Structure 1
Amino acid sequence: MPILLFTIMLSGMGFGLVLPAFLFFAGNLGASPLIATTIVGAYSFGQFFANPIWGRMSDRYGRKPILIMSTAGMVLAYLLMAFSENLWVLGGARMLTGIMGANVPVAMAYITDITPLEKRAQGMGLVGGAISIGFIIGPAFGGLLSGADAASATLMWPALGAAALSGFTLIATFFLKESLPAEKRSEADTVDAVPTGLTAIRMVLRRPTVTRLIIIGLLIYFAMGFFETIMPLWSEARFDWGPQHIGWCFTYLGFVVAITQGYLVGKLAPRFGESKLVLYGIACYFFGLLWMTQVPDWQLMMFGITFTAGGGAIAVTSMTSLVSRQAGEHERGLVLGVYNSSVWMGRFLGPPASGFLFQSIAVQAPLYGAAFIMFVCFWAALALRSHLKRTAEETRTV
């Protein structure tokens, strides 16, 4: 597990390097807020497309080969981004990083392969924590490499740094031990009831509990995509921030997420259960959004960031653990892949919607929109919790 967590951390660093300057650089190439946020969302569209593919392939061929293949693609994607000179190339590079970076379900399946059921949430938290540690370091350096202000923002040096980190990740991945034995891979390969592609997605969606989890997860990520994407432009409009300020803010956000996923979730899940933690996480995110719409300065804004970062980390980690409990051993990569693909569609739809609200209505509109969606998610998650309790009681009485 330590080697896997190290490779995940490096991947998170590469992802974080390009974030502080991305919207500003797209704007410098002539993109409006709507176009710039749509390009940012192309990463999530790539995740939506590739998540179930990588997940199912890892069930058939093992986790390690898929991790190696996808990481090698990340190197090429970041090199293309580093030398983007127009919006089409930038958008293509952004989508390619999403496709090749859609290997988190494979890493999660690796964790579930080697951890017992009662420690599943803690294992998921360690994966999220490793990503967050990389996310702590990446944006800080990305902000320093991106330029002093929005007008001078560049992606060349951050993207080259991300390509180098992906290269180190590729090397480290070769030292991983395979977690899925050959006999279990062959079982997954011969189960005719587990198809691929759209048929696989339809099969997973036939399960009512999984479908509810997917819908709630999609809405949560949709709301998170509102604020987290528009945050650079929002903070520039509110507090005159540039890439360096954004980098340090994302670093603090990553620090909060790392502590939450790497420590708090593992401690809280056995006491409260994942379904209750989802409710707590959504409530914290909702409060943080409304707080940030009312504060007059960035110091008070950071208090709200603490709630959105911590609440989001609790909610998404607990949701992933709940989904993993609905999958058999031979299909875990598939189910997690379909779930992650669906929630990444939420992240794809969120950025352009946020950009539209920011550009056409008001600076604060994306935050109010995200808060409304989180309000809906809370009640949907509450209904899901009641459903899970009833299902568990019926199972015990049979």
Structure 2
Amino acid sequence: MTDTPMDAADAAAGSAYWKRNLTISLIGSFTTIVAMTLLLPFLPLYVEELGVSDHAAIVQWSGIAYGATFFAAAFVAPLWGRLGDIYGRKLMLVRASLGMTIAISLMGMAGSIWQLVALRLFVGLAGGYSSGSMVLVATQTPKDRSAWALGMLSSGIMAGNLVGPLIGGALPPIIGIRGTFLAAGGIIFLAFLATTFLIKEEKSPARKKAAKASGGWASIPDKGPVIAMLLTGLLLMLANMSIEPIITVYVADLVEDQARVTMIAGIVMSAAALGSILSASRLGKLADRIGHWPVIAGALAVAALLLIPQAFVTESWQLIALRFLMGIALGGLLPCISAVIRHSVPDSAAGGILGLSVSSQYVGQVAGPVLGGFVGGHIGMRAVFLGTCVLLMSGAAFAWLVRPRNSDKP
């Protein structure tokens, strides 16, 4: 433990408002993620509406517009976390929700593809509500309930990722693409109001002073566990995203009726997320009881083993079932990652380091599809599953080796 006595006492007790803040953060994260992801089904159509006509260019610009947000967010997440340490975590949520309200509403008024990409970049720079919620919940929840609380929040975030594209597929035929962006902005504005008036954060002049004086990364005496968690977050996203570029082609080899390929591919992609939604809070609760490190190492190892049969399935239902089980195994990782980091750094530096964790996850989210596409295209699709298996098993071994030896719990 690296907290000062005051930090440790505050963190152990948690904020008096932690349950209310968790509820608002969960609802706010869910709604903002829904608003962020509902553009996925119609993004290529909107790119075409903005004047891009060539098919290859539409695909390329859609990828650029979608990835721009994560690219920008990866750079600024540690900064917002650091500012949250100094000026308050609630303020960062208010800033993020207001910035996203403006940016997403303006997307519905874009007149060119460059404006759309610029606004997507702005969302990444100004947004970060869900990651900010993670910081708020991690720092305000009593330590013996932190993994459970973060698991609940993770479930809400993953549910938003599932529901968003479904709503995005249903709304444009009713209110149009531009109207859908305006509706999304309205949803986030409601999250802004709820955050502003319902979340309570106790002011801590001592923490603010300590945060300003803190050396951030340099203030962490034992950096091994934190480094392990940064790598684990990267591996988690890489494992989840590595099959994205190949999944439709892989499913096409398993399904006789080619008209069903896209539907089955969508189910495969959703299966892991659904499993994680169901398991996140339960694995978080287990981690609070037996310790985070056994859950982290075990989850990585089980997920790695489940990747092996995925490389040799002969029916689509087998792949769906294995991805669902893999999602269950990986569901507890995000809350455990945040909890271990929270337990390993001083309160005055928690936001900045948790922001760094978010950045590492974005790196995995970008690197996964790139690496999976390269390996699948040059070596073979089975190699994607087996290569990811090796990476996850290595991560499990590393997490087990660097775990604290003086206690079963971090």
TM-score (norm 2): 0.77
- Which of 182, 202, 205 matches 1:183? 205
Aligned to 2:18: none
Residue in 2 aligned with 1:197?
none
Q: Distance in 2 between matches of 1:161 and 1:370?
A: 39
Aligned in 2, Cα 1:44/1:190: closer, same or farther, shift over 3 Å?
A: closer
For 1:260 and 1:217, the matched residues in 2 are separated by 17
- 8 Å contact kept, 1:9–1:133: yes
- Alignment of structure 1 residues 142-153 onto 2, 5 Å: 142-145=168-171
2:277 equivalent to 1:258: yes
Query: Residue 222 of structure 1 aligns with which residue?
Result: 238
Per the alignment, residue 113 of structure 1 pairs with: 139
Match of 2:81 among 49, 55, 77: 55
Which amino acid in the other structure matches residue 30 of structure 2? M
The equivalent residue for 1:44 is 70
Question: Which stretch of the first structure deviates more once superposed, 331-340 or 77-86?
Answer: 77-86
Q: Which residue among 25, 35, 43 is the counterpart of 1:14?
A: 35
- The letter of the residue matching 2:324 is T
Distance 1:136 1:215, change over 3 A: closer
Q: How much does 1:36 deviate?
A: 5.3
Structural mapping, 1:62-211, within 5 Å = 62-82=88-108, 88-145=114-171, 156=178, 159-191=181-213, 193-194=214-215, 200=216, 207-211=223-227
- Residues 33, 355 of structure 1: 8 Å contact kept: no
Relative distance call for 1:380 and 1:305 in structure 2 (3 A) is closer
Task: State the superposition RMSD in angstroms.
Answer: 3.7
Residue 276 of structure 2 aligns to which amino acid in structure 1?
Answer: V
- The answer to whether residue 383 in structure 2 is matched with residue 368 in structure 1 is yes
Q: Is the Cα contact below 8 Å between 1:29 and 1:86 reproduced in 2?
A: no
Structure 2 unmatched runs, 5+: 1-20, 49-53
CA shift in 2, pair 1:121/1:274, >3 Å: same
The answer on whether the counterparts of 1:17 and 1:140 sit within 8 Å (CA) in structure 2 is yes
2:120 alignment partner AA: R
Corresponding residue number in structure 1 for 2:358? 340
1:386 paired with 2:401, answer yes
SS at 1:331's partner residue?
helix
101-110 or 1-10: bigger deviation:
101-110
Ranges in structure 1 where 5+ consecutive residues have no aligned partner:
148-153, 195-199
Per the TM alignment, residue 80 of structure 1 is displaced from its structure 2 partner at its CA by: 4.5
Flag the 1:95–1:240 CA change in 2: closer, same or farther, 3 A: farther
Residues 370 and 247 from structure 1, CA distance in 2 versus in 1: closer, same or farther, beyond 3 angstroms?
Answer: closer
**How far apart, in 2, do the equivalents of 1:85 and 1:232 lie?**
32
Please tell me the residue identity of whatever aligns with 1:361: H
Distance in 1, matches of 2:32 and 2:45, equals 23
C-alpha contact 2:155 2:280 (8 A) present in aligned 1: yes
Aligned 8 A contact 2:297 2:399 in 1: no
Aligned residues: 379
**1:20 touches 1:244 (CA, 8 Å); kept in 2?**
no
> Taking structure 1 as reference, are residues 157 and 368 closer, same or farther at Cα in structure 2, changes over 3 Å only?
farther
Q: Which moved more, 1:73-82 or 1:306-315?
A: 73-82
1:98–1:26 CA distance, 2 compared to 1 (3 A): same
Report the Cα offset of residue 68 of structure 1. Answer: 1.1
Q: Within 1, Cα distance between the matches of 2:180 and 2:149?
A: 30
**1:163 Cα deviation after fit:** 2.4
How far the C-alpha of 1:167 sits from its partner, in A, is 1.8
**Aligned-pair distance for 1:88?**
4.3
Identify if the C-alpha distance between structure 1 residues 221 and 135 changes in structure 2 by more than 3 Å, giving closer, same or farther: closer
Q: Aligned partners of 2:81, 2:43: CA distance in 1, in Å?
A: 28
Question: Which one-letter code corresponds to 2:188 in the other structure?
Answer: S
Provide closer, same or farther for how the CA distance between residues 375 and 32 of structure 1 changes in structure 2, counting only shifts above 3 A. farther
The residue type paired with residue 370 of structure 2 is P
Distance in structure 2 (CA, Å) of the matches to 1:266 and 1:143: 32
Percent sequence identity over matched residues? 21
Deviation by residue 1:144-202 (Cα, 9 ceiling, x = unmatched): 3468xxxxxx96565444323212211211123332424244323442x33xxxxx567
SS at 1:179's partner residue?
coil
Deviation at 1:296, TM superposition (A): 4.6
Q: Secondary structure at the match of 1:372?
A: helix
Letter in 1 for 2:360: S
Deviation track 1:320-344 (CA, whole Å, cap 9, x = no partner) reads 2211111112221111111222222
1:303 Cα offset (Å): 0.9
User: TM-score normalized by structure 1?
Assistant: 0.79
Letter in 1 for 2:170: L
Equivalent residue letter for 1:139: P
Secondary structure of the corresponding residue to residue 112 of structure 1: helix
> Secondary structure of 2:197's partner?
coil
Offset of residue 288 of structure 1: 4.6
Three-state SS of the structure 1 residue aligned to 2:128 is coil
